[in-house]
Structure formats: structure tokens, C-alpha cells
Chain A
Amino acid sequence: MKIKILYIDDEVNNLTGFKASFRMDYNILIAHNTIQAHDLLIRNPDIRVIFCDQRMPDKTGVEFFKDIKNEFPYPIRILLTGYTDIEAVINSINHGNIFRYVQKPWSVADIIAAINEAHKFYMLNSMLSIKNGELKKAYIELDKFAHSVTHDMRRPLMGILGAIEVAQEIDDIGELKSMLNMMLESVKNLDGFIQSTHDYYNLKRGELKIEEIDFEELIKIEEKSLKSSIGEDIRFNANVQQEETFRCDKVSMNIILHNLLTNAFKYQKKGNEDKFVELDIKVATGMATICIKDNGIGIPENDINDIFDMFYRSASEEPGSGFGLYNVKDALLKLNGNIQVDSKIDIGSTFKVTIQNK
């Protein structure tokens, strides 16, 4: 991409001479007067360097640069002038209205040197403002994040605090025990939430570490922990068909499987005689396809588009952090993978994930 340069001069010969000398290496726009120049600046926000003659009938170059400085802060302003105007030029440089000047008559080498220097400055400046914008955005996000997270962490703690105060006035052991059980649930939820924020940061900051994935092993660990923490009564079928070794980031793979399986186990219909979760993994032709199917409560149609949003929770029957599917989506984004959901209320949900072999 050629650097876009605007040159303003009232003398047509100068304009054509300038364009002829530099059009091969740069994208040169020319203007006969400052009104035309202003118009070109509006239509070409990507102009990076402006050359302007000092002596023009409608306005001096110094005046023009002073006028446009606030409206177009990014292009680098260079004045072309003879020796006689040197005082006005120095003044203008000192006021920050122009970057530098090139003395007339100019040589091609003078102009190229000026463009190179100006462009370097332009890049630094605009990089800085882009980075500043990114920082500002990150700061606002962090602020929101900190607010939500502290809130969600305080919630179970406040519950436990209230319970401890009440427990001190209760003598019935049975009642105390049932309170302890509820407090235990709260502690587990809080721990789960902290684990999810940990996952969130691992995904945001962590580098991918590609290694061979042993699905059978992963499934065994998940099955054991899910059955003991959620329900022994859920029929779990896992089926792995692998034609080639699968290589992927293990941390991300864990997060994806763990959260999807946890949801499938958690959001089951109470009182259903035959609760089941089916996991199907196929690895073939450089692609892993993971299907997780349950016959649970399903997801309301209105919520389907929101379930991957941070802190979004579609069901209140079971405790959740609002982080799980967000983390799944984030992990898939990092792995360049894909996820599809098919769900019907009271029938169940199916999540289908595809990830390329790395």
C-alpha cells in the first residue's frame, strides 16, 4: 500500500512537477487551494502526510495548518517555503502547527527524506492512539468484570455469614446439620465460580500448548467427578471413534468438555426415570466432532442466542456461575473451532463441537 500524500500549491506547474516526481512511490493527491484541500482531507481520512506551499493567495500555508490541526490531527503537516518566510515558519513549528519545513526549491531527496521521517512519526502517533483506545476499552471491561465477579463471590459468603449468625441461636442438631449441608453447597458453588474465573484467565492470557489428547482418559475423569457430585442415577454413554491421533491444547479441551458435560448432567428433569447423557467423539480427516446430548430441561428458544454471553443464566433451578458456556465459546474461538446448539424445552439439548486437528 502506497502512502497517501496531499500536496497544496496555487501554482499548477509545481503541482504537476510534484506529482510526476513521486507518483510512482506514493499515492499523491493535489489541491489548487485550501478549500479543495479541506474537501480532500474529509474524503480521504487515510492521508498521512500533507505538504503545503506557504505563499498562496487565499491563505498562507502556516494559517492553513493552524486551521486544520484540530479537525485532522493525524496527518503530518510539512510546509514548503522560501527563506524569506523563515520567521513565520519558526513560530508555527514552535506552536506545534507544523512538523517541519522543506526549503524551496526542493530536491527529490529532500522530499523523500521528509516523507520518511513524517511517516515514521505518523505511525508512532497513530499506533499510540490505537493502543490508548484499546487500553481504555480493556479498562472499562475490567471494571465491569470486577464488579460482577466481586458481587458473585460475595453472594455465597453473605449467605454463609447470615447462616452462621442464625445457627448460633439454634440448638436442634438436625436443623444445624441441614444448615451445614446448605453452607457446604454454598462453599462448593463459590469454589466452582472461582475455578471458572481461573479458566477465564487461563483462556484469555494463556498460550496454546498443543499436545496429544487422550479422550478416553479425559472422559473417565469427568465421568467420575460428575457422577459423584451431581448424580449417580444419570445414564452416561461415551463413545469414541478415533482414526488418527488428535492434537490440541489440553487446557482448552478440558474446559470445553467439562462445561458441556456439567451442564448436561446438571440441567436434568427432576423425577425423570431415565435421565441420560450421551457423548460421541469422532476424529477423522483432520477434524474432531464432539456431540453431547441430554434429555434434560432444554433451553427456551428466546435464550438460545444469549447462552454464550458472560454471566448469562437461562435457568434458576440449579446454581451456576454464568461463566461456563462463555468459557467454552472463548476456548473454541482460540482453537478456531465451532459450536452448534439444538434444544427443545422438556426434550433435551444437543451441543455439537467441531475442532480441527492441530
Chain B
Amino acid sequence: MKKLSLILSIMITLLSIILSGCTIGNQQNLEVSKISVAEQFGLAYAPLQVMKELKLLEKNLPGVEVTWKQLGNTAAIREAMVAKEVDIGFMAIPPFLIGWDKGMDWRIFSGLSKSPVGLVVNNPHIKSIKDFTGKDRIAVPQPGSVQHILLSMACEREFGEPERLDNQLITLAHPDGMNALFSKNDITAHFTAPPYLTKELEVEGMHQILSGSEAMGKDFTFIVGVSTSNFHDKNTKAYKAFIKSLNEAMAYMKQNREATQILLSKAYEMSEEEIEKYMTLEGVSYDNSVAGVPEFAEFMKRNGYISKTPQSINEILWEDVNDEK
């Protein structure tokens, strides 16, 4: 009996420590001048590099303490936002929708970039996704990624069954996927985005059989910016300042092409030529409009990736989003 009460008292103590410790964590988030932003690596995130280099946020919100985090995948960004370690995150639309569906309190506040994505194959005999045999393996960055959803969309169109190729997908990070595609051992196809897409298409024998807009039937925003409700509601000043800075960065990129290229070539450790080639690539654009959310949501609901679609677009977009119809 003595033992039991000892155990119980230890547990109660632990419980109170855990519960109290977390309220402290929450309070820290209330500080106005702190922003934590999470992004991933890649040229699709270029406006954020411009924003960083030109210190636009610091200009618009003097005294701000901004933390930039570069995380390896969308799941990590999402988890960091659940854990209230990150206020603003950048990702593709499907992972955002999955989080929203699971009850994450967040909405899109801006588009960031449009980018071509494409399915590259290393076998000249494959001309369309109809030519894949059961032996062909297709690499995508993650299940539930925009590439995976786009391939499912194409399968729905071609075969009437979106999950047709699901058993042939393997998950590889972009660079691994590219190497695997070149080695021709493991995989026949790789669904990827620039710069890997352009690098792959430069190699002889590789060709693209499907683009993102073909799969979806229209253009869509590749990367969007997402903010937690907590940050949007409680740090309105910082939230507004961030949007303002982001828009300024995009405007700067349009007006100062060369300066942007120099800046980006430093940030990405790539040559200016490479940067230029990418920036002028067909389908690449940086603007704050958001396109494709309803299409993704509808498709993903229909195929069980999410359990519901938003009643109105305002459920998932903040008030000041440039919603491109």
C-alpha cells in the first residue's frame, strides 16, 4: 500500500511538471517580435532567400528576431508547427491539406512559386504512363507528396483508377532519385522538380512523359506559405510584416533580375548561368497567387487521402490571399 501511494505521488508530480512546463512554452510564443520560419532546400523557395539577404523582414518589423529553419521534408515542417516551434512554413498544397484534414489549425497566407514538375523516364520505349509494366519502379519524394498526388491524378485520367501505379512507387529523396534514375538499376521513372528535373532531361536517353500541369489539367501553385492560427491571430503585426516583406521580395526579383541572380547564386552556391537558366525556365514564376487548392482538395477527398473538403475556400486561406481562380 505504501509502495502504491509512493508510485502515485511520483506520477502526480511528473504530471504536474509536464502540464506546467507546457504552459510556459506557450507563453513564450506570445512574444511579438519572434518569428520562426521553416522552408526546404530548392530554387522553388528563392523569394525567401531574397527576403533573408535583403533583410526585408528586419526592415518592416524593427527589432524582430527571426529564425530560419531549413528542414529535410514537409513532414518535419508540419511536426515543428504542431509542436509550436515554427510559426510559418512553406510546402506544397497536398501536405498542407493532409495537415488541415487532421485538425491542424493553420491556413495558407500566400503563394510562393510555380514550378514545372515532371515524370522523367530512362527507358526510350516508354512514351506515356500507359507503357509502364508491372516491373517498372517509379520514384517519388514521399507518399502524399505533390508528385504522388499528380501521378494519381494522371492515373485516374488514363486508367480510371488513381491507385493503379501505387504498388510500383518507391520513396527516394530528390538527389537519390536522380542517381537511381541514371544508374538504371532500380527505377525506370522519377517524378521530380527543378533543378533535378532539368539536370535529368539534359542527360541523353532521359525524357519526360508527364508534366504537372498535364496531370492536373491546369497550372497550380507549387509551394505555398502557411501560418498557424496562433501566429496569425496573436502576432498580427509580425504576420502582416512577413507578408509585406515577402511581396517586396517578389517585386524585387521581377525588377532586378541580374542582382537577384547574383544574390541567388551565392545563396545556392550555383553559377549565375545555372540560376538564370532556371529562372527563365518555362513554368517557373514567383508570385503570391494561390492556384489549385480546390482541385487538389477535391481529388484527395475523392480518393481517401483526406476525409473532408473545405466548405468554403476561406476555411483554408487567410483573408488577404490572392486567390487565383
Q: Do A and B bind each other?
A: no
